[in-house]
Chain A
Amino acid sequence: MSLLSIRNVTKKYASHTALKSISFEIPQSSVFGLLGPNGAGKTSLIRIINQITGPDEGEIYFNGIRLNAGHISQMGYLPEERGLYRKMEVGEQAIYLARLKGLSRAEAISRLKMWFEKFEIAAWWRKKVDELSKGMQQKVQFIITILHQPKLLILDEPFTGFDPINANIIKEELLKIKEGGATIMLSTHRMESVEELCSHIGLIDKAKKILDGSVKEIRKQFRSNIFEVRYHGHAINLANGLWGPYELVDHKIEEDHQYAKIRIEENIPPNQLIRSLVSEVEIVSFNELAPSMNDVFIKAVNEHKATG
């Protein structure tokens, strides 16, 4: 069953419509990438899921039950524009925010101590927030978001503000959290994160949903039937092997071999190309070039633009 079921949600503001009849199913224990160009409507949808605002039409179901105030303690939210009370002590503030999510004081303290040690920031407990560097503040903010072990974790651009090492730590924590049974909704422009983490994606453009499904399915949907061949031999020989339903898309010389990108026509099994090439050149490696999420994004949005 889906953890979150978004059905025909519409949201209008005075000057424009932010969401037009959006529907998504977020599967349990998935990492769902919510993608879209700037201004597409992602933040509006996230705020509706968090019950910060309400939809004008449509409903959202959490574990089969209509979204209500009781679900707040089961969700964690890290907004894109985020911050903390600057003059308040780190520990005290973390406890306060945890308690607002329903944890008792004692629980909050023990869990925070554990996380602070894990992230090696125990020394910052008594410091005021504005005494920390930005990266430290982000770490604290991340811990606060996950502290109450939410079933649904919504993260809007979680990696900004982190250097590569810390970004990696966060990424690993997220995977552990997912293994622990939580569901994660990730909104980001960093397509590498999407590649590394997401099992499902949903793409919004200009208030409408234009793509949604598991990453596997989507890659299949967007495959361009392009294959990478690395070989030893002459390009002329390669060209010989390409008579047939094949097209050479790219070719270059790499360190100790040659590299070619070849498109195979629809429905022709790749084996056929291999057979065709094997007699002409010495194949070093052969693989399908799966479409990157970046490509998918660009392609889908452009298509949507074209069809209006």
Chain B
Amino acid sequence: MSNITLIIQREFLTRVKKKSFIIMSILGPLLIGGVMALIIYLALNQGEVISKIKVVDESGVIVSKLSDSKSILYERDTMPIAISREIFNGDEYYGILFIPADGLRKPEGITLFTEKQPNVTVVTAIESSVQKLIEDIKLNAAGIRKEVLDSIKTKVSLIQKPVSASGEDKQFSADLTAGIGFAGGLLIYLFVFMYGVQVMRGVMEEKTNRIVEVIISSVKPYQLMMGKIVGVALVGLTQFLIWVVLTIAVTTAVSSFMVGKKSFSSEQIGQLQQYQNKGVNTPAFDTDTIQQPGFLKSLSGFNFTRLLFMFAFYFIGGYLLYSALFAAIGAAVDSETDTQQFILPVSLPLIIAYIVSTIVMTNPESKLGYWFSIIPFTSPVVMMVRMPFDPPVTDIIISMIALIAGFVFTTWFASKIYRTGILMYGKKPTFREMGKWLFYKR
């Protein structure tokens, strides 16, 4: 077995045999499933907290029509607003809803008084109720009956389908695409970071316990560095595979269990829609998307094999690019604290990529998206976000070539630093010194 294969094997086996690997592999998806379940549960059960609202209605026409909901109880208050505020008892009541005399004509004067900053749920619930009420009153006054109105109200929810006739069976979904893209980019960001740091730690361990000199009397430093990078990559891929399998199993079980138990009530749908109107972004929980019978069908709008292949390519490419740099950091320093000054500049492009991806996910064809999906330091994250939107093939090819060139460059760069740094102890090298290392002869 060649030396580099021996090294890869050792790096892989020592890490997967560790208890922490096994625990994280199993716990990871359980955690994700558990957190998802918790979020769904909390989202569905928000209404369990009851808020009592005192209503001071100077107009006189609204309070009688206000109906209590599961979470909000309205209580008429006959005091003038000033006194009501004076004697307000925060232990019993959440707040005071004040409707001025001309509230119907000028609804902008309607006020909610609370002791501290109110929460979105209560505010949106009250707004929703009062808004509906005033609309009904105005309609009645204009002589329009509710049934007529309901027949006029239209909800437009575009069916999204591919242009070509061969795509008859498929269905598109803008929200889902953005969600998948973002999730893909996020996963790459997390994995590159997690495993890059593992490489760095491994290099530092070898430096600290002084085994490195023994090993590089048997193998070239380059072989040790690459063996470690590839070994850790295999660990990452293995863990990822285990996670994918377990997560699918767990979340399928969880969501069918939870959604089966509670159907969405109209109030909850209303709340979720109000959330969206307020700009609280919950694409994953878009009720339209989930409730459309075609949810699973819209998954068919994606070429999953291509997505997975691209994900694998960008994960490996991004990881190779960054882990080389992390290896160089590990070789250059003596202690954990010294790593801080180097980790920041190295991880900055990744962080920028993450931020850019939140923008690109809603605007994938932008110039911003284009450039950041080509530059190899950010492309693994940003290109993944663009990928579900089927970007032009030329873009993809340029990006892939750039990424390969990128990691070839960082590997070359890192191996020079690694070679000199691993035997150097005691002084923290400046950037200038490390620049000189690039030119040392073997």
Contacts and interface: CB of A to CB of B under 8 A. Distances in A.
Contact of A82 (B206, B214, B219, B423): B214
B341 to A, nearest CB: 21
A75 B6 contact: no
Given A54-B442, A96-B6, A82 B14 contact: no
Interface residues of A, number: 28
Nearest to A99: B6
B433 A52 contact: no
B218 A79 contact: no
B217 A75 contact: yes
Nearest to A75: B217
A192 B206 CA distance: 33
A100 B442 contact: no
Contact of A56 (B3, B6, B218, B441): B441
Interface residues of B, number: 23
Contacts of B213: 52, 77, 79, 81-82
Contacts of B217: 50-52, 72, 75, 77, 79
B209 A14 contact: no
B218 A82 contact: no
Nearest to A84: B211
A141 B7 CA distance: 19
Contacts of A97: 214-215, 218
A77 B212 CA distance: 12
A84 B213 CA distance: 10
Contacts of B3: 100
Interface string B203-237: 00110011101111111000000000000000000
A85 B436 CA distance: 30
Nearest to A82: B210
A52 B214 CA distance: 10
A173 to B, nearest CB: 18
A52 B423 contact: yes
Contacts of A86: 209
A87 B1 CA distance: 24
A302 interface: no
A72 to B, nearest CB: 6
Contacts of B1: 99
B418 to A, nearest CB: 13
B10 interface: yes
A70 B217 CA distance: 12
A133 B7 CA distance: 26
B6 A83 contact: no
A14 B433 contact: yes
A54 B209 contact: no
Nearest to A53: B442
Interface centre among A14, A52, A99, A141, by most chain B C-beta atoms within 10 angstroms, is A52
Interface of A: 14, 47, 50-54, 56, 72, 75, 77-79, 81-88, 96-97, 99-101, 141, 144
16 contacts: A14-B436, A51-B217, A52-B216, A52-B217, A72-B218, A77-B213, A79-B214, A83-B214, A84-B209, A85-B211, A96-B6, A97-B214, A97-B218, A99-B6, A100-B7, A141-B214
CB-CB nearest 3 A-B residue pairs: A83-B210, A83-B209, A100-B218
Given A52-B216, A77-B214, A85-B205, 5 more contacts: A79-B210, A79-B217, A84-B214, A100-B218, A100-B219
